[in-house]
Structure formats: structure tokens, C-alpha cells
Amino acid sequence: MKTFFEINRLLAFAKARLGLNSYDVPFVRNSIIDALGLTTFEESEVEAPECDISVLLADFSAAAIEEGVFAAELAPYFCDKIMGMLSLRPSYLDGKFHEVYDKEGAAQATEWLYNYCVDNNYVKKAVLDKNPRFDGENGLVVTINLAKPEFRDPNKAKSGNAVAGGYPKCVICKDNEGFAPRGKFTLRTVSLRLGGKPWFWQFSPYGYFYQHGICVNTEHIPMHIDRETFVNLMDFVDAFPHYFIGCNACLERIGGSVLAHDHYQGGGEVLPLFKAKIKEEFTLPGYESLQMGILDWPGTVFRIVGTDREKIIEVCEKMRVCWVDYTDENLQIVCRDASGQHNSISPTVVKRNGKYEFNIILRSNVVSEEFPDGIFHAHPEFHVIKKESIGLIEAQGLFILPGRLVGQLAEVEKCIANKNLTEEYADFRLLFDEVTVLCKGDFSSENVHENMRKELADICYRILQNTAVFTDEQMKDYLEKMGFISK
């Protein structure tokens, strides 16, 4: 059977790339034979394949379907199951990760783990590499995610993660490691300690940027931001100084999709926010050792830079407390009302030259009749591009746009070239008009496409401006009222 040959190739791959011990090969092979409902096998000598795991799995699936081992619709399930069998046990993998960390350093350890998760097919790198992505001239990065479902109703993101059976308690609980109904046979996590408590790290299967992962509290408790959060974030970048880490605002419509479980997001890419500079510095009496200021950024962001952990924690906590209790009805800022809390922050940190660089992003999820999805959310004219929550990653300048746009924008580009917006794409009037102007009379497909990208980056910038809770003037007023600067 060709299926046998493909299983031999997968075993050879696992020996070469997934740390499968030769002594375990017959045992793992027998587990695979049983999982596939086979009763015999033929061994053959094969070289360890050099190709991407996705190619091997496609070959394996094709052979197994052709030979009636499983039906085509079950191929993803069996691929996931077999890759789980070929991967190391979680405790062994965790031990190996910490061994690399101790011997070679943090960057080597995360690199090793990332490659492992690509090779065992948990991180779908081949899919990710197909996502369109470009840098805007305004400093923002735009990607179109072809793999992720779009939650057009921002309130649905939360219910989408509700778990009917109660086990695991949510989609990011440690109990998901190896859980078949959610396709988590291949999920592997590594342990770490933040603030003296057990946490774990895992890469995101459909990462939005280089080595995108989440850091999860081992205990299933709701997301929250307080003094402890700042301690944890600094502990993380102490352990992984080549990564950034941040915490989503823990409220609906402006934060993460899993509010029920305490977690952070981070990874190995310098996001646009970290490239922005302070545009106006201020100092706080007693905290002169820290550099502080308003960030030159379309959203409302403070930056705090320094080495003194205690002082940084105190300032971040002051900024958090001031904002979560702040109300200015003239500006439509209402910290809380009958529908709950509305003000929150997203803190995010990197370590550069031994200094912590904190960014505190002020967020509000307050709604009005005019803006039922949020006053400080993407305004309705931009919903055709982005209606989902503007979470931590977008607030830092990396926009993840829905996959449907690839087809839609290609059609709108044709309309622009033809100087006629068809009825079907009437929702794209704003883009049609603005790109037409940007083209300056040159409607070649290259020029239209180029200007469409400019337009997308520009709309993303305007969306970030929508999320800003203050203008520059209002920001100074706020800082004065809060005692951060004096008149």
C-alpha cells in the first residue's frame, strides 16, 4: 500500500525533525496503525524527507483516501492525530526547551520551539506565508488573513469562544493540549513563571506576525489588568528580552477574544508602535529617573522608559488607576455606567539596551446612538474594511484585515480602472473615490493596485485615530488634571 510508504516517510521525518527516538519508533508506528484501523504494515527504508510537513501530509492524505483508509473529510482529523503521536510528550518537550534555554539562551530556545511547532504542523506556516502583507508609507503594517474567520459582530468574538461542555473550560486552557475535538493533538506548550506563579507559552497556529504566541496563566481566571500585570510583563521580557509582550484591554469590543482566561500576547517582531517616538516629554516628581512622554501615534499612548522596576510599576499603576476612573462627558468619556466598565488600558513592553519600554494605550469601549459599535472604534465608513475589535495587535499598528477583501478589492480595482463602481460594490464608494484621486489619471492595473495599498494603510491610520480618546490638546488637559504635568 502507498499508505504504508507514506507512514514510513512520516516516521523518518519525525526521527529527523521531531525528536522521535529510534527506540520508540515501533511503538509509535503501532499506535498509528491502530489509529488508522489497519492490521498489518510494510516497512521500507526511506530517507528523511527535506520538504515542508504540509507537503508530506498532503501526500499521505492522498494515498490514504485513494486506498480507502479514511474518507476525504476526515483527512485533517487523521493528520492532526498522527502528528500528535509523532510529536514529543509535553513534559519531554518542555524539558528540552528549558535545556536549550539554559545552555544556549532565550532566543535559541524560542527559535527551537517555533521550528518544532512548524514541523509538527501546529503552526501553519505554509498558510501564513500566503497571507498578503505590506508596509504602509505611514509606518503601519497591513496583512490580510486568509485563514482566520471574521467576527463582524465584535460581541460575537466572546460567545464564539464559549464552551458548551465545560471541558476544557475555554479555548486557551492548558487542558487543550492534545484535545481531539478542537484539533489540538499537536498543541505543545512550555512552562514559565511570571510573578512567582505558573504560566505557559504557546505559539499561535495562525500567527499574525513573526513568532506570534500567547502567554497563558495556568489557572483559568478572568483577564484583568492591575499592578500584578506590570510585574508579569516585565518578568516575561526579562526571560525573553528578544520578544515584546502586551495585555489586551480586558473589555468587550476593544480587547481580546478570550476574556474569560488571563493571558498576554507577544512575539518576535518589532511592531510599528515600538518604532514610534515620544513627541512630548513630561516628568513626574519622585520619578525623575524615568523618561516619560506622549507618543507620536494616532492612538492615545504614553511611554515610560527606565530600569527601575518598582518606579515603573508605580507609574504604570498610577496611569491605569487615573484612566479607569476618568469621566469627561464633554468628550463622551464615561468610565462606567449601568452597562459596566468602559475605560481600560492595554500595556505593552519591550526591553531595549537593558531598559524597559512600556507603552500604555488608553482605550474606551463606550457606545452611543451614532456609534453603536463604539465611539472610539473604527467608524462606520470603515467597517467595509474592518469591523472587528481593534485589539492589542492593531493598536500597535499591525492590521489584520479579513480574507474576503482579497477578492472584493480586486473587483473594486477593476471598477476603478473602468471608472464605474458597480452596484455590487457600492459599499466600497469611499475607497473607489479616494483611490481614483490617488491614481492621478493613470489607471493601469499596477498603479491602481499600488494606490489601493496606500489607501488601505491610510484607512488603517484613520481607524487608529478613531480609537484615540484624546486630541493632543485634550491629552495635556488630562495630564494636568491628573497631576502628571503642571501648568
- Judged by the rule CB under 5 A, the positions of this chain that interact with Zn ion are 169-170, 173, 220, 261
**Nearest residue (CB) to Zn ion, 173 versus 233:** 173
Closest approach, Cβ 263 to Zn ion, in A, equals: 9
Would you state the cell numbers that stand for residue 188, as one nine-digit string?
505543545
Closest approach, Cβ 137 to Zn ion, in A, equals: 41
- The phi and psi torsions of 38 (rounded to 5 degrees) equal -90, 160
Give Dmax over CA atoms of the chain in angstroms.
83
Closest approach, Cβ 223 to Zn ion, in A, equals: 10
**Nearest residue (CB) to Zn ion, 95 versus 183:** 183
Closest approach, Cβ 332 to Zn ion, in A, equals: 34
Closest approach, Cβ 141 to Zn ion, in A, equals: 30
3-class SS of residue 286: coil
CA distance 254 to 390: 6
**Nearest residue (CB) to Zn ion, 184 versus 342:** 184
Q: DSSP readout, 235-255?
A: HHHHH-TTSEEE---SSTTTS
Q: Which residue has cell 514529543?
A: 88
Closest approach, Cβ 252 to Zn ion, in A, equals: 17
DSSP label of 120? T
Closest approach, Cβ 169 to Zn ion, in A, equals: 4
**Nearest residue (CB) to Zn ion, 169 versus 387:** 169
CA distance 176 to 199: 15
**Nearest residue (CB) to Zn ion, 175 versus 337:** 175
**Nearest residue (CB) to Zn ion, 164 versus 437:** 164
Would you state the cell numbers that stand for residue 184, as one nine-digit string?
489540538
H or E element in which residue 326 lies: none
**Nearest residue (CB) to Zn ion, 173 versus 250:** 173
How distant, in Å, are the alpha carbons of 2, 139, 255, 457 from that of 460?
A: 50, 11, 17, 5
Pairing of strands 213-217, 355-364: unpaired
CA distance 52 to 119: 7
Beta-carbon count within 10 A of 424 CB:
11
**Nearest residue (CB) to Zn ion, 101 versus 200:** 200
**Nearest residue (CB) to Zn ion, 177 versus 434:** 177
Closest approach, Cβ 202 to Zn ion, in A, equals: 13
Q: Encode 289-312: b = buried (16+ Cβ within 10 Å), e = exposed.
A: ebbbbbbebbbbbbbbbbeeeebb
How distant, in Å, are the alpha carbons of 71, 108, 168, 180, 486 from that of 165?
A: 27, 39, 8, 14, 55
Pairing of strands 398-402, 141-145: parallel
Closest approach, Cβ 103 to Zn ion, in A, equals: 32
**Nearest residue (CB) to Zn ion, 124 versus 261:** 261
Closest CA to 460 of 128, 131, 129, 144: 144
Beta-carbon count within 10 A of 246 CB:
26
Closest approach, Cβ 171 to Zn ion, in A, equals: 7
